[in-house]
Amino acid sequence: MTAEERQKLVEQARALLLEQVVRWESPMRWSEDDSNGYRKLAVAARQALAGDMGAIATLRRVFDESFFARTNSHNEYGLASLGLALLGDRESVERIRAVSPINLNRTTKPLALALLEED
């Protein structure tokens, strides 16, 4: 993959993540105690957009904890996948590969994998 092709993928991933994180930042998504982790996921997505590697642990929780920031749509996997890909977290490739390609994940899964598996 050329540098130009990679840059296009990065721009596409950033735009999609930004579009989605705005939806997750809605106060209607969480209760005051945020026991489901929706606010934490939105903050971690913003951190990923800023290049903050500290977001990796929170983004991985979407895959590793059964009820962390999870809805029936499973779009949270897409949000986490893009964040991890933008941060270059190759240790999460297997997590992303295991995501069912439904809903938002039809787009985010191949995009995240393309960013992480290129070389």
Mean pLDDT score of the chain, rounded to an integer?
90
The whole-number average pLDDT for the span 22-37 is 65
The pLDDT-based confidence of 60 (bands split at 50, 70, 90) is very high
Tens of pLDDT, residues 35-48: 678 888 999 999 99
* SS3 per residue for 11-75: HHHHHHHHHHHHHHCCHHHCCCCCCCCHHHHHHHHHHHHCCCHHHHHHHHHHHHCCCCCCCCCCH
Q: What is the pLDDT of residue 23?
A: 78
Tell which wins on pLDDT, 30 or 42.
42
The whole-number average pLDDT for the span 47-70 is 94
Q: What is the pLDDT of residue 111?
A: 97
